[in-house]
Structure 1
């Protein structure tokens, strides 16, 4: 079973949306996807975040059932892939659990690296008897591309904008950044499927 964890600030907009969309896209795959926030407190997703979840294919009821959680070291201990919604979250994760640096990316960073990777190199990296081992190889390869792949012109291009307390247009911008990145993450996880 592959374990994926998404992290943002309040765990009421970006990270639950990312987790819900990944659960939907990988519904036929042995995967557990959860989320928490660096300042999460028990709360529901915002109405606009719920609306985005429904618009972009979250499983029925997933957005309604979500309650924010505060990120702890224990939550990250067994994770195979950790996705920060912005560089500040990636940094917080690295400080909380330094051993997880190689499997921690911002969601847009992972998508950017995966798109830049040679498909044959990704296939070669996906070696092993099970999905966890194969994903570990893929992530090791993608992590090795940091510093070798041309970085974005603006480092903020690896972040998903925080829409909390802002207009519906900002929520739509946030989704426009997040959804394609989630789709690319799902593609990477599918590459780890044994017998592909």
Structure 2
């Protein structure tokens, strides 16, 4: 049985697709499954943002197979770990949790780097390319730490 991990941001086109691609590249696909979703349904069915695709490609990752989807309550039954990119999305996911076991699955991704800090991955959507580079580096570090812990 595979361990399933979900990365969640707002629109599922910038941060969470990068997090999905980065973490998936670090884990054995026969033992782990990584996916991503957004708390808002703005871009359902869309490719990741072209800037996320470009920064991923720069680091040797292809995320063009991903399509945006909205986080749904049944994700609590499907996934073992649910990582939020920021406090707002954490709160939105938490609001859908019906049981303590659901709540226990939700984590802030950057707490992998600095435990209990609840630091946020900034949304690079309205910024320039450097914002995507910064987000990639944050997620690379957090995903490396988590991959080492879970493997």
Instruction: Provide, for residues 43-94 of structure 1, a one-character-per-residue CA deviation record: whole Å limited to 9, x for no partner.
Output: 1111110112223343xxx411111001111123221111001111111111
- Check if 1:56 corresponds to 2:53: no
Hey, what's the Cα distance between the residues in 1 that align with 2:55 and 2:98?
A: 33
> Are residue 186 (structure 1) and residue 147 (structure 2) matched?
yes
Unaligned stretches of 5+ residues in structure 1: 114-150, 191-196
2:64 is paired with a residue whose SS is helix
> Does the 8 Å CA contact 1:108/1:181 hold for their aligned counterparts?
yes
Mapped contact 2:22–2:139 kept (Cα < 8 A): no
Q: Find the counterpart in structure 2 of residue 68 from structure 1.
A: 68
Alpha-carbon spacing, 1:10–1:28, altered in 2? closer, same or farther (3 Å): closer
- Cα distance between partner residues in 2 of 1:111 and 1:103: 18
Larger Rg computed on CA atoms: 1
Q: For the Cα contact (< 8 Å) 1:21–1:56, is it kept in 2? A: no
Q: Counterparts of 1:176 and 1:63 in 2: how far apart (Å)?
A: 16
Match of 1:171 in 2: 132
- Equivalence for 1:4: 5
How much has 1:104 moved relative to structure 2? 1.1
Alignment coverage as a number of residue pairs: 146
TM score, norm. by length of structure 2: 0.87
Shift of 1:112: 2.2
Structure 2 unaligned residues grouped into runs of 5+: none
Alpha-carbon deviations, 1:80-125, whole Å to 9, x = none?
1110011111111111124322221111013323xxxxxxxxxxxx
CA RMSD of aligned residues (A): 1.7
Q: Which has the higher contact order (CA 8 A, sep 6+)?
A: 2
Q: Which protein is richer in helix relative to its size?
A: 1
